[in-house]
Amino acid sequence: METNKKPISELMTRTVCEVKTDFSAAQVLELMQRMAVSSVLVVEDRLTLGIVTERDVVRNLHRKGGLQGLSCADLMQAPVVTVEQTESAMDVYHMMDGRRIRHIAVTDAEGLLVGIVSEGDILRDFGVEHYMRFKDVDGAMSTTVVLLPESASVGEAVALMDERRQSCVFAVDAARRPLGVLTERDIVRLCHGHDDPRGLTLGETMKSPVRTAHRAEHLHDVVKSMDAAHVRRLAVVESDGSVCGVLTHHEIVHGLEGQYVSYLKDMLQEQEKALVSRQVAVKEKNLLESILRSATGTAVIATDMECRVAYCNPAVAAMPKLQPFAMRGKDVREALAHLGWPECVAMMTPQALGNGRLHTQLLAWTEGSETQHAELQLSLLVDDRNQPEGYLLLAR
């Protein structure tokens, strides 16, 4: 993979869909549907003031009870995360992953807009060795998937998509076999054609048939088929056809995080070589701890095979609900059960997480009058002989 060495200008899209601040929500929706884009930038005199994404449309439909009468300013997020076009593609990826965003505006040295980069842009630049890290779909998919009967309303679907930060809902039958899918892009389409589409049913609005992949299929082959069909997501199914997960651009790109750690190690090793004359050595243990501590906004917990905390970075102690994980020797299964995930016991085994599999779990709890969310990613730690030696939890 050569992504490490490329500036983001080589991956970004230079043709950007732009709107001005005086656009209405209806005009923004019309442009997004006509151009088949997942985001538009709000720009005045080449200065980027905001961004409107498909997720913003879903959120506003759910939380504001419709989009009628809203302006572009009501929909957009501001300020916009931007990077200069000379930034490395790998650093930009890490920023997107750490901040849980799917688009970043790219500017020149004066801060003027020159392009935009999305997860899809980075995905298209991956080499085959990235997919070989996972081998099969099972290792990259997310098990956090929203399933509803086709009789459910669009309003119910939108609420779950917003609350669980999911980009689609699958309509399924009684055996969990997929009947259709409703995506964020479909929500944009529905909002453009209806004053308030929340009363419609999934059966009336979903797209069918659903593109699927078996969890044992080779990831590289599945990604190639997604690209050929111009789809950004598909349902992952068991041998009996029941839905067991979802595979989107986000899950595939998210797997690059391990490559970012390797990238940082390479950078530090190059710096170490330059400092040999000063007899400065960077030990592997200190190097890895520095990398983990640099994971901005991400709580990192490492355990032994008995699920006892062996390491945590400072972000753990900074998050009130995660403070129990900061106690060395603490059994993380007890803390996870207290957070609302008692089933973690079944997942924290070498059998459940073998072959590089990642498990993602969305947790929610109430603080005062607000509902807080956290996304946990669980994986197996292995030694240099590929033998299990513990578990790794990442929390955002």
pLDDT (0 to 100) of residue 340: 83
pLDDT (0 to 100) of residue 6: 84
Sorted by sequence, the CB contacts under 8 Å of residue 191 that are 6+ apart come out as 29, 57, 61, 67, 197
- The number of residues making up the chain comes to 396
pLDDT, greater one: 157 or 285: 157
pLDDT in tens, 25-46: 999 999 999 998 999 999 888 7
Torsion from C-alpha of 53, 58, 64, 67, nearest 10 degrees: 70
pLDDT (0 to 100) of residue 125: 72
For residues 331 and 318, the answer to whether their CB atoms sit within 8 Å is no
Q: For the ranges 125-134, 249-258, 329-338, which has the lowest average pLDDT?
A: 125-134
CA separation for the pair 52, 67 (Å, rounded): 13
**Torsion angles phi and psi, residue 56, rounded to 5:** -65, -35
Q: Stretch 197-213: mean pLDDT, rounded?
A: 96
Confidence of residue 381 (pLDDT cuts 50, 70, 90): confident
pLDDT above 70 (res 293): no
What strand order describes the sheet that includes 168-172? 147-148, 168-172, 178-183
What one-letter code names the amino acid at 223? V
Confidence of residue 204 (pLDDT cuts 50, 70, 90): very high
Paired sense of beta strands 103-107 and 47-53, if any: unpaired
pLDDT in tens, 344-378: 888 899 888 887 788 888 887 776 677 777 788 88
Tell which residue, 34, 30, 37, has the closest CA to residue 15. Answer: 37
Complete domains list, the chain, with CATH: 3-118 (3.10.580.10), 129-254 (3.10.580.10), 256-293 (no CATH), 297-395 (3.30.450.20)
For residues 141 and 251, the answer to whether their CB atoms sit within 8 Å is yes
pLDDT in tens, 82-116: 999 998 887 887 778 777 788 999 999 888 899 99
pLDDT (0 to 100) of residue 261: 46
Measure Cα distances from 45 to 29, 117, 286 in Å. 22, 20, 47
Residue at token pair 């400072």: 314
pLDDT, greater one: 32 or 382: 32
CA separation for the pair 122, 81 (Å, rounded): 17
Tell which residue, 320, 272, 315, 273, has the closest CA to residue 292. Answer: 315
CA separation for the pair 393, 185 (Å, rounded): 32
Helix locations, 275-313, DSSP H: 284-293
Q: What percent of the chain has pLDDT over 70?
A: 83
CA separation for the pair 75, 329 (Å, rounded): 46
pLDDT (0 to 100) of residue 283: 46
> Mean pLDDT over all residues of the chain?
82
pLDDT above 80 (res 232): yes
Residue 19: how many CA atoms within 13 Å on its side-chain side? 26
